[in-house]
Structure 1
């Protein structure tokens, strides 16, 4: 069953929910169910298994929470959970648990989030007292199962929320082990923003005759702007920090989330942004849970307006004031792009998604467009003149707001004394200038050049010696060393893949890389000797064609 968003939605009363749930929804201001709720709740109330594909922000938490709460039996005292919800991150566990609590408050439903990075003692006590619904990250769920403190023999419903994210984070084996600990006749519900083959595999193994639902975002009306404006800017790597600052100045977001690939990049970019006068906070997996909680508190209370994060750290975040998402690099997979931009444009709020693409990443934008069916507008970087015009626009808006709202009588004496000596227009111009300059200035007042577009060349053509011999039979060029990578043509590796991986993860440029040879099962690449260890270290932290390569200095002794 594939369902597109529609305005012809039923009321919550039409979904035959318990009065306690209807009262809670009314008190929360929910007027009508979203499309995913309309389509998912009836079969779930009937006990059917379900595979739902729906983007973040479509209301899928209520789509599975309300049927689960509907089926909670009345009971007193101790009790093992009747429902288990698995989620990828601690942040999402807390959000889902809060949603269950809000919806089920009149039922007295007992919900408990369990996750790593929090004291296990409180979780043990709550489980001992008895709970109805457990919302857990897979790792901590297995810890409790092993301890015998999370008993799943009475579970009637298991929900896998953000299933594709859990697989991407390496929880596939954990999920299989957890499902084996639940009754075979349970109801299984799987929600995912994307449905790659691995998700279909889980569905085939663990779902029985499931209802399949796909909720597509409602297309914008002709002539109207989409809910999330998606733009990309092609920028040379050396100018990316300046380009990010320029875009932030022009866009003036209320709060923005900037995605980076690595922890090191997050820390470095956060330091750069703070040095430029922004209020930026870092968020990545190398931080303790206490540090991450403090960062999120500062973002939500407005003492920080930029969050620089890795994908793993930012999964499951829902920050109401977030207006912009920035991809500091083009995501390596369309699914990552979908999850990233899903942080904005939620619950009817408009949002902006910006992507900084290096020239070699331009083709990756096209792949994302094909996979998502959404256009990413490639635009020119705003010029210094654009920046100045935007600042004047913001100054005018600030003055207009002051004129409409503030009590200005206190300052009348200043104006009257100045107009005895100067023209009123000149006084106003001076005031505007002071207001404008008080907003501060950016450090990137130079134009950001457009990058030169040059094709990636296969360097074997000019380096390979004649006579049928491979260039690996000869010593590397002076000052160069040869690296062995355990991936070749059989893995779909091409010269541009290797060049892109090396330049993307190390300080080398394409011009620094020497000859490349790709065989069926391995590849050889020449790099400067003084950069070899950096390249090896960098490539061991990344993937090429979705696989982590074996990489080392070549051991082959060339023939003379």
Structure 2
């Protein structure tokens, strides 16, 4: 049977959990179950198998942990584990084990995480002393079974958490071998963010008449902003590093993961971003487990703000204060995209996911949109003017915070001394300028070329006429301006964008199509701002030269006469 997220909200007490669990939940500040917990806990308490589809961050760990602990015998009643939880990565094993400890503290529950890369001796000793719940990665679990150290004869429940991730990582055979060692009369629970055919296959083979639960992300009310704001930027490969740096500068994430395809790319971007002033850490398969642990420790402690990682290395990672996920390339399949963006927007907090797509990857974005049924807005890369405005905004915010802190007396003598010689406003302006320069004002930044949105026509026309005719008329709400400088004057699209954004109130993303011919250029701008832009461009220079600027004159097409 299938269960959906409907019905009135119930409290944990209504789920008839053991008093020790209710006390632990109350102490942790949990008041109401999430939809996945509300739907999954009752059938699991009754002993049903369960197949749950739920995104990361929906509360599914408690959904299976609480029933396992509720059905556990008294401590030390049995030496072997009564539950085995299989997870894809070391990081997730630690997180799930910590959750079991928090929930089962009042019961004295014995929980052991086992995973590769850690000394196996300690794990063997703990198993000999007796445990109630083992949380394991498949490879280490199978190793312990083959050694005779992990006895599954008394197992009552098996949980496959993040099952699709485990299959993607090549654990299918290990999972089958482990399940073959478990009692037939066990309860089997499978959770997965996506349910591709392979997951269905495992469910048919190993689950008996399972309850099926599908929990999507909560529906938004009309006008309510999404928890994860998804955006994409189309940019040529050569400009992707600069585009990434520009976007991170503008977004100013508290903590972000940047997903890359290769180890070399991870190392290169980490070096580039550290040179840009970020505290970036690399994470990929070429690193030892100790190195990985140190990197994750710095990210969780806040001493690092960016994690540059390959997809496989970052699986299972959960960072509480993560605000941004960046796809340096478009993921190869929609499921990977879902897993990545699921790391932000949790527990009611907003998150941002943006993707850098090369022109040839635009179709892949559409494929992801169709599969996820979510719109990914394609936006323009922020301009230098946007970046400068953002840095000024950050400087203003930092100054305001300092003023509110009211610990400025030690600097009073500097201001009073300068005030005797200069106007107090000039002193303040100089201080703001220094503060702005300390943030790395974008004086040496170059505009990132916008990818041409309309293909050039090929045929009998000459080069100038072919570029001139890439658009017959402006987009709705836009008007086209004529500038008397073109390719022969060295004018590039980024020069025009920079001049308009730097001298008018428009931002780079407000500017429409740009066409550059040999002796002139055409730029689309919003109709309401056309006069402002014309006045601004007439007062400035482009490539060191003054330009004739006016609205484009619409001329009728030439009359064709019969020969």
TM-score scaled by structure 1? 0.79
Whether contact under 8 Å (1:90, 1:137) holds in the other structure is yes
Q: Post-superposition shift, 1:7?
A: 8.5
Pair 241,78 (structure 1): closer, same or farther in 2 beyond 3 Å: same
Q: Would you say 1:335 and 2:361 are equivalent positions? A: no
Task: Note closer, same or farther for the CA distance 1:442–1:81 as it changes in structure 2 (3 Å cut).
Answer: farther
The Cα shift of 1:318 comes to 1.3
Task: Give the C-alpha shift of residue 310 in structure 1.
Answer: 1.1
Alignment correspondent of 1:200: 200
Distance 2:400 2:3 in 1: 46
* Distance in 2, Cα, partners of 1:443 & 1:85: 54
Other-structure match for 1:252? 252
Deviations 1:457-512 (A, max 9, x none): xxxxxxxxxxxxxxxxxxxxxxxxxxxxxxxxxxxxxxxxxxxxxxxxxxxxxxxx
Partner residue of 1:281? 281
For 1:4 and 1:345, locate their aligned partners in 2 and report how far apart those are by CA, in whole Å.
22
User: Residue 348 of structure 1 aligns with which residue?
Assistant: 348
Asked if the contact 1:245/1:442 (under 8 Å) is kept, the reply is no
Give, in whole Å, the separation in 1 of the partners of 2:5 and 2:188: 24
Assess, with a 3 A threshold, how the Cα gap between structure 1 residues 23 and 444 changes in structure 2: closer, same or farther.
farther
Match of 2:102 in 1: 102
CA contact (8 A) 2:259 2:311 kept: yes
Question: Which residues of 2 match residues 531-546 of structure 1 at below 5 A?
Answer: none
Does structure 2 retain, via aligned residues, the 8 Å contact 1:231–1:353? yes
- Partners of 1:397 and 1:8 in 2: CA distance: 43
Tell me by how many angstroms 1:442 deviates: 5.3
Match of 1:140 in 2: 140
What does 1:309-388 correspond to in 2, within 5 Å?
A: 309-388=309-388
Q: What displacement does 1:3 show?
A: 5.3
Classify the secondary structure of the residue corresponding to 2:370. Answer: helix
Q: Partners of 1:300 and 1:210 in 2: how far apart? A: 37
SS of equivalent residue, structure 2 residue 313: helix
- Cα distance, 1:412 vs structure 2: 2.0
Structure 2 contact 418–427 (Cα < 8 Å) conserved: yes
C-alpha separation in 1, matches of 2:5 and 2:429: 51
Q: 1:77 to 1:391 in 2, by over 3 A?
A: same
Distance (Å, rounded) in 2 between the aligned partners of 1:17 and 1:10 = 13
Note if contact 1:80-1:151 (Cα within 8 Å) is conserved in structure 2. yes
1:24-423 alignment, distance < 5 Å: 24-76=24-76, 79-423=79-423
1:444 Cα deviation after fit: 6.5
Deviation of 1:302 after TM superposition, in Å, equals 1.7
Could you tell me whether the CA contact under 8 Å between 2:384 and 2:445 is conserved in 1? Answer: yes
Q: In structure 1, list runs of 5 or more residues that go unmatched.
A: 456-560
Query: CA 1:236–1:214 in structure 2 vs 1: closer, same or farther (change >3 Å)?
Result: same
Between 1:56-65 and 1:425-434, the stretch displaced more is 425-434
User: What is the deviation of 1:2?
Assistant: 5.2
Q: Is the 8 A contact 1:166 1:172 kept in 2?
A: yes
Cα distance between partner residues in 2 of 1:442 and 1:384 = 7
Give CA-to-partner distance per residue, 1:58-78, whole Å, 9 cap, x none: 000000000000011114276
**Higher mean C-alpha displacement, 88-97 vs 265-274:** 265-274
Give TM-score scaled by structure 2 length: 0.79
Q: Please name the residue that 1:539 is paired with.
A: none
Q: Compare 44-53 and 260-269 and name the one that shifted more.
A: 260-269
Contact between 1:256 and 1:323, CA under 8 Å: does it hold in 2? Answer: yes
After superposition, give the CA deviation of every residue in 1:425-460 in whole Å (9 maximum; x if it has no partner): 1111111111111112458610000124688xxxxx
Is the 2:4–2:213 contact (alpha carbons within 8 Å) kept by the matching residues of 1?
no
Residue 18 and residue 77 in structure 1: after superposition, are their counterparts in 2 closer, same or farther (change >3 A)? closer
Q: Please give the alpha-carbon distance, in whole angstroms, between the structure 1 residues aligned to 2:333 and 2:405.
A: 47
CA RMSD of aligned residues (A): 1.5
Q: Which runs of 5+ in 2 are unaligned?
A: 456-563
Flag as ranges the 4+ runs of structure 1 deviating above 3 A.
1-8, 441-444, 452-455
Q: How much has 1:207 moved relative to structure 2? A: 0.4
CA displacement 1:490-548 (0-9 Å, x = unmatched): xxxxxxxxxxxxxxxxxxxxxxxxxxxxxxxxxxxxxxxxxxxxxxxxxxxxxxxxxxx
Change (3 A) 1:57 1:82: same
How many pairs align?
455
Per-residue displacement from partner, 1:243-289 (whole Å, max 9, x unpaired)? 00000000000111100112221112112212222211001122111
Distance 1:23 1:282, change over 3 A: same
Structure-2 change in CA distance of 1:9 and 1:263 (3 Å): same
Query: Matched residues in 2 for 1:18 and 1:344: separation?
Result: 32
Contact 1:322 1:344 in 2 (8 A): yes
Structure 1: distance between partners of 2:222 and 2:200: 35
